[in-house]
Amino acid sequence: MLQVMILNISGSTILLLLFIFYGVPIIATIIALSLRHKKRKTAKVIGILTAVYVLISLGYCGIL
């Protein structure tokens, strides 16, 4: 017999997960864009780290 597990997730938990998935990359992108004229290399590194973060958080962790 197959049992279905129902998760009891509150609204605040969903908001926290959405902030982790979308909020952190948005903040990092804003920081990278603000640094792009002063420190190009730092802005490029932050941009690459943000892209990797998005791929991992929405890809692998989003599946879970």
Quick: pLDDT tens for 6-63. Answer: 666 777 888 888 888 888 889 999 999 999 999 999 999 999 999 998 888 877 666 6
The reported pTM is 0.69
Question: Within a domain: residue 4?
Answer: no
Domain coverage including residue 56:
28-64
Question: Within a domain: residue 11?
Answer: no
Give me 62's structure tokens. 């989003």
Secondary structure of the chain in HEC code, one letter for each residue: CCCCCCCCCCHHHHHHHHHHHHHHHHHHHHHHHHHCCCCHHHHHHHHHHHHHHHHHHHHHHHHC
Question: Within a domain: residue 52?
Answer: yes
Structural domain count of the chain:
1
pLDDT of 5 > 90? The answer is: no
